[in-house]
């Protein structure tokens, strides 16, 4: 008997999103399979970050459907509209549950500046999962070990380099054991000599876990090695997608060719 085909862990179905009069996404659809490593590439302003922020429920959508792990992320509100006119998560409890499935790492780290490294990592598991301090610290030390930062557990963020801060931010996002990790230009604010240490952590994560990973990046070499599938965006639409070898060595679309010529 054949095993049933796996269901996508992320299903994006005809979503639209405008900021004021500016339509960033217009009927975008895409699926992501469990464990898939995806790179989202394309010119600035093409909507890549907005997609990650929508998945993280940091932005709402105007229409369409998103299912994460089989559950609807947004619902049509009963009162006919959210503050900004978009769809909303069904309830705080629903939002809370959905957010535990997804971790996000931002361009600018966003660590809590007045908390030590280990407290940055233990805070969410203690607050949202009811973990004891001891449990949360044991897990935090494993994660710090994984990102090569175990010796900085008691340091404060201000004492760390940008690359170290970003590795802590990755450990913090992993602390809730999310099924999906979103990475938004995580190396673009770093000095060039610090980029590789962060990419190494992400390589390790991709190799050693079955976490589904979506990455917005301008590091084309990294996207090539890391991704199972590359999606090229322009003006809020997927212009072309495929295996990294196809997109980078043999792009079919003129817009993809033009973008890659400029950036590589």
Contacts of 76 (CB under 8 A, 6+ apart): 87
Residue from 10, 12, 15, 24 that binds ligand ADP (CB under 6 A)? 24
Please say which residue, 36 or 234, places its beta carbon nearer to ligand ADP. Answer: 234
Backbone angles phi and psi of 215, in degrees to 5: -130, 125
User: Contact at 8 Å (CB) between 184 and 127?
Assistant: no
State the DSSP H helix or E strand holding residue 205, giving kind and residue range, or none if neither. helix 192-208
Of the candidates 19, 84, 154, 263, which one interacts with ligand ADP according to CB under 6 A? Answer: 19
Q: If you ran DSSP here, which 8-state letter would residue 92 be given?
A: H
Distance CA 193, CA 211 (A): 27
Binding mask 211-230 for ligand ADP (x = CB under 6 A): -----x--------------
Residues 36/42, Cβ–Cβ less than 8 Å: no
Phi-psi region of 27 (alpha: psi -120 to 50; beta: other; left: phi over 0): left
**Of 48, 101, 167, 229, the one binding ligand ADP by CB under 6 A:** 48
Closest distance between ligand ADP and the C-beta of residue 19, in Å? 3
Closer CB to ligand ADP, residue 40 or residue 168? 40
For ligand ADP, which residue of 8, 9, 28, 47 counts as binding (CB under 6 A)? 47
Report the nearest approach of ligand ADP to the CB of residue 70 (Å).
26
For ligand ADP, the binding residues (CB under 6 A) are: 19, 24, 42, 44-50, 216
């Amino acid at each position: 008997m054949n095993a049933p085909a796996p269901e996508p862990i992320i299903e994006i179905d005809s979503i639209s999103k405008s900021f004021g009069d500016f339509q960033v996404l217009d009927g975008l659809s895409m699926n992501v399979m469990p464990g898939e490593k995806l790179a989202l590439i394309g010119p600035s302003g093409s909507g890549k970050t907005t997609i990650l922020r929508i998945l993280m429920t940091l932005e709402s959508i105007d229409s369409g459907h998103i299912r994460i792990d089989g559950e609807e992320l947004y619902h049509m509100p009963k009162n006919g509209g959210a503050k900004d006119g978009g769809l909303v998560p069904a309830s705080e409890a629903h939002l809370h549950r959905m957010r535990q499935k997804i971790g996000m790492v931002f361009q600018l780290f966003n660590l809590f500046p007045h908390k030590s490294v280990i407290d940055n990592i233990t805070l969410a598991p203690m607050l949202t999962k009811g973990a004891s301090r001891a449990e949360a610290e044991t897990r935090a030390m494993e994660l710090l070990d994984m990102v090569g930062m175990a010796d900085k557990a008691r340091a404060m963020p201000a004492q760390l380099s940008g690359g170290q801060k970003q590795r802590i931010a990755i450990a913090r996002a992993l602390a809730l054991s999310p099924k999906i990790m979103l990475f938004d230009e995580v190396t673009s604010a770093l000095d060039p000599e610090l980029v590789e240490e962060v990419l190494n952590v992400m390589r390790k994560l991709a190799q050693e876990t079955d976490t589904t990973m979506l990455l917005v990046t301008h590091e084309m070499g990294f996207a090539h090695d890391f991704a199972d599938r590359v999606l090229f965006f322009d003006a809020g639409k997927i212009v072309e997608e495929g295996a990294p070898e196809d997109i980078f060595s043999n792009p079919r679309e003129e817009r993809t060719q033009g973008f890659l010529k400029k950036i590589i």
